[in-house]
Amino acid sequence: MQPANLLLLTLVLAIVAYWLGYARSRSLAMPLGGIRHLKSLPFYYGARAALWSGIPALIVLGLWAAFQGKVIQMIVIGGLPEGIIPATDGEASLLLSKISNVASGALPPGFVEAPIAEAAERLQALRTQSRFLMSGLVISVAVLAGFLGWLRIRPRLNARSQVESILKWVFFACAALAILTTVGIIFSVAFETFRFFGKVPFTEFIFGSHWSPQTALRADQVASQGAFGMIPLFTGTLLISAIAMVVAVPVGLLSAIYLSEYAGRKVRGVVKPLLEMLAGIPTVVYGFFAALTVAPFISDLAASMGIEASSQSALAAGAVMGIMIIPFVSSLSDDVINAVPQAMRDGSLALGATQSETMKKVIFPAALPGIMGGILLAVSRAIGETMIVVMAAGLAANLTANPLETVTTVTVQIVTLLTGDQEFDSAKTLAAFALGAMLFLATLLLNVIALKIVRKYREQYD
Amino acid sequence: MTDQRSQAEIVRQSLKRRYRKERRFRAYGIMAIAIALGALLILFTDIIGKGYTGFVKTTITMDVQLDGEMMYLDDPTDERQIKMADFVEPLVQALIKEIPGATEDDRNQVRELINPYASVTLRDALKANPDWLGTTQTMTFLTHTDVDVYVKHAGDDAYSIKLNDQQKTWVDELLERDVIETSFNDVFFSGGDSRDPSKAGILGAIVGSLLTMFVTLILSFPIGVAAAIYLEEFAPQNKFTDFIEVNINNLAAVPSIIFGLLGLAVFINLFGMPRSVPVVGGLVLTLMTLPTIIISSRAAIKSVPPSIREAAEGIGASKMQVVLHHVLPLAMPGMLTGSIIGMAQALGETAPLLLIGMVAFIVDVPDGFFDSATVLPVQVFLWAGSPELAFIERASAAIMVLLAFLISMNALAIWMRKRLERRW
């Protein structure tokens, strides 16, 4: 049975268990003189039976479905005859994809060696077996556990507190998933990163000023020795982020000031949602706009002024990214400006300062730490932004500060290294994870600092 | 006394300058807003201007003589014969008849006006109606993409017209006689991706998006709400709870591409799940949207006044009953609103899906959660990277469809906030 169908069946079984538990509690209560002699309402006896039946079955199902693919692969590889047992992980995955292509019928068995065709048959058989075993196991766990739960229903059993404590644990598990996700990110990225540093020295990665991840395909190739120096990527990312900030900070901040201090309710009611619309537009749309409209416009404009500009200039990607970040800056600044106590505003105005003087000399300095926090968050967003740069910035890793030239960024390289043809286990693929680790650390650091500043600032005026 | 007067004088004299500064400051604010809204306006007009023609298709209607001899076919029910038969010839002959002045010698030029897939359309039609063999049928086919581009963008310098002068005069003539017509592009909404722009559609991507979103919704909403309930109502005040909170806040700001790396390493490499399927996409987007949903759900729970809780506790409800029977129903509209906004974000997300392989060229409309699929924003990305302007046109049209989805989701969220959310 397919996992999805099995999931539905488990739910059906849990519902059946609910009704059986419900009925049993009532039938136990009747001879005693009605359900008021039960410790809990019949609903809770039913719910308890359903949880007993459903939760173990779901855990079994989840674990089986998660690991069956890997286990079957290992059995198939292990069962290959001497001579074609793959030496490296890369060969193994190539072989596996060949075997599974034969098994799925995409590749006729006649086209491959006999052992592979046999392995494909075994793969198919194992898959059927696994599916069969999984269905049997899940159904029997659901029925058995449900039956045990059903059997233990007594009038004196406090089903409600049991159900409630199970639910509480379920809620806790959901909240703890956030930790699990973070741990997952750290482990998945860290593991591959360490393997990368086994191939490329750490100092070369951090301090190297040359990036060209084309590693040699054959051992005798001389031309393409991969170079993994992340400095050009780092400067490229910073250049584009800086351009984005130059656009986003003044525009976002000034519009936040105008909207919070000058604009009437009506203007605010119209302009604010429109600004927020900028934040709701998918990044791929900005990328499209940057690559097909802004970049050609900039290079034409530069050409008409006699300056040479790349058709994938950093300026185009950065400017469009800035537009994307405007609402982010403006809504964060809006929050902190509004958090400045009214008394400070009134005090300044009462001394005869104009509104703009109040803004510039009183409110802005008071709100500055919060605004800085907001800007740091915006920077972290710009650094991690992917689609705009993938579509509008280039692939060439130039070490330059000229916004009209092509630069590449960390995120662009991650995407290019991990899409398209992948060599498994090569320094090239692992480099993407190392870049991901750097990106994660950089954004994490910015976020932690920014959140701390914002929180501290908020406490100051609470 | 004189001193004071002179000070008032100084202030009065400086007033003009200060008011000017005030006006200038205001003007800066208005300018900033104008820049932001102007960018929004330019973005929209650019995309609509580039893409509205994507909703138009160019077709050709002609009398096709289904002559068995010409097609090397005498029994349309025979699979083998129909595979071998020539379905291009009847189309070319029909079009030559439509064009005055065209002869057998022009057959190659005439053939270039018809869509390469038109013969497939004809074959399927004949398969469905075997008795058409030997008759003449009036049928409508897509034109070649070059004709489509010429009809839609004849005066536009950005587009290179690949037709030669002879073909252009023919197309002009056929247009005048309404043999070639433009109409609403239903192909765009009823097919999957294709190498031929005229044939390319977004149905596959839309279905892929819906499947992915379904997985995301059924996972992230219950888990997010449960986590929010735990953190707001049950969590003890300790280091561990703080740690969970810090984690959630940080995950909300982690770049989306990092979630793609996580999905690649965990779901695909560790668990051996297949690449480019909606289930894996949904799982990755779930992890990405969870923080958003948890944060907005917590805000919704917080906004339920304590008096409700106290009243329920006062009549003997347990803590769980208070939460499930009273707090949750009252917080539900707020939670739903937050989730819709989170789902809208997930719908527009592209980067993490690139890493788990949802960038493949997929022609078929996916028919299950474990079937290879792509999603709408990725389809836009794929088409936008094409050098052919006819694909760019489709990409813009797909963006409009995507934006229509997003705007209606956000409108729904706003409507729900206005209608259902209670102010206490």
* C-alpha atoms less than 13 angstroms from C-alpha of A182 in its C-beta half-sphere: 19
Same domain, A153 and A232: no
Same domain, A119 and A238: no
Number of domains in chain B: 2
pLDDT at A437: 93
Same domain, A115 and A232: no
* Spatial contact of A113 and A84, defined as CB atoms under 8 Å apart: yes
Kindly state whether residue A212 falls inside one of the protein's structural domains. Answer: no
A175 interface with B at CB cutoff 8 Å: yes
Number of domains in chain A: 2
- What is d(CA B395, CA B382) in angstroms, rounded to the nearest whole number? 8
Dihedral sign for Cα B205, B207, B213, B216, please. Answer: negative
Nearest residue to A280 (alpha-carbon basis) of B219, B248, B43: B43
- What is d(CA B160, CA A113) in angstroms, rounded to the nearest whole number? 50
- What is d(CA A299, CA A278) in angstroms, rounded to the nearest whole number? 25
Q: What residues 419-438 of chain A have any CB closer than 8 A to a CB of chain B?
A: 419, 432-433, 436
pLDDT at A131: 86
Q: What residues 231-250 of chain A have any CB closer than 8 A to a CB of chain B?
A: 250
pLDDT at A421: 59
Q: Tell me, what DSSP letter sits at residue B230?
A: I
Q: Please state, in angstroms and as integers, the Cα–Cα distance from residue B258 to each residue in A245, A376, A406, B299, B375, following that order.
A: 22, 19, 24, 26, 19
- A258 and B359: CB-CB below 8 Å? no
Residues of chain B with pLDDT under 50: none
Same domain, B318 and B355: yes
The b/e string for A313-330 (b: 16+ C-beta within 10 A; e otherwise) is bbbbbbbbbbbbbbbbbb
- Show the domain range for B375: 203-420
pLDDT at B380: 94
Kindly state whether residue A258 falls inside one of the protein's structural domains. Answer: yes
Q: What is the CATH number of the domain that holds A315?
A: 1.10.3720.10
Kindly state whether residue A399 falls inside one of the protein's structural domains. Answer: yes
> How far is the first Cα of chain A from the last one, in angstroms, to the nearest whole number?
58
Kindly state whether residue A112 falls inside one of the protein's structural domains. Answer: yes
Separation in Å, CA of A220 to nearest CA in chain B: 30
The CA dihedral of A261, A264, A269, A274, to the nearest 10 degrees, is -60
Same domain, B75 and B224: no
- What is d(CA B413, CA B424) in angstroms, rounded to the nearest whole number? 20
Kindly state whether residue B272 falls inside one of the protein's structural domains. Answer: yes
- Show the domain range for A122: 3-157
Nearest CA in chain A to B248: A178
pLDDT at B208: 94
Q: Which helix H or strand E contains A158, and what residues bound it? A: none
pLDDT at A289: 95
Same domain, B155 and B235: no
Last residue within a domain, chosen from A103, A135, A157? A157
Same domain, A147 and A231: no
Task: Write the residue in B32, B249, B385 that is nearest to A251 by C-beta.
Answer: B32
Q: Which amino acid is at A114?
A: A
Beta carbons within 10 angstroms of residue A158's beta carbon: 14
Q: Which helix H or strand E contains A340, and what residues bound it? A: none
- A443 and B255: CB-CB below 8 Å? yes
pLDDT at A223: 47
Same domain, A251 and A352: yes
Residues of A in contact with B378 (CB under 8 A): 284
Two structure tokens written together for B336: 């739903």
B355 interface with A at CB cutoff 8 Å: yes
Same domain, A275 and A424: yes
Residues of A in contact with B261 (CB under 8 A): 185, 188-189, 414, 418, 432-433, 436
pLDDT digits (tens, 9 = 90+) for A293-308: 999 999 999 989 888 8
* Spatial contact of B183 and B151, defined as CB atoms under 8 Å apart: no
Kindly report the length of chain A: 462
Residues of A in contact with B384 (CB under 8 A): 284, 287-288, 291-292, 391
Kindly state whether residue B81 falls inside one of the protein's structural domains. Answer: yes
Print pLDDT tens along chain A (462 aa): 677 788 889 999 999 999 999 998 888 888 888 778 888 888 899 999 999 999 999 999 888 887 887 788 788 877 777 767 766 666 777 777 778 777 777 777 777 777 778 888 888 888 888 888 889 999 999 999 988 888 888 888 888 999 999 999 999 999 988 888 989 999 888 888 888 888 888 888 888 888 887 655 555 554 455 688 888 899 999 999 999 999 999 999 999 999 988 988 899 889 988 998 898 899 999 999 999 999 999 999 998 988 888 888 899 999 999 999 999 999 989 888 888 889 999 999 999 899 999 999 999 988 888 899 889 999 999 999 999 999 998 888 888 888 888 889 999 999 988 886 555 567 778 888 999 999 999 999 998 888 888 777 766 665
Kindly state whether residue A122 falls inside one of the protein's structural domains. Answer: yes
Q: What is the CATH number of the domain that holds B242?
A: 1.10.3720.10
Last residue within a domain, chosen from A100, A123, A157? A157
Same domain, A125 and A234: no
- B264 and A418: CB-CB below 8 Å? yes
Kindly state whether residue B190 falls inside one of the protein's structural domains. Answer: no
Two structure tokens written together for A423: 């060599």
- What is d(CA A325, CA A250) in angstroms, rounded to the nearest whole number? 11
* Spatial contact of A436 and A444, defined as CB atoms under 8 Å apart: no
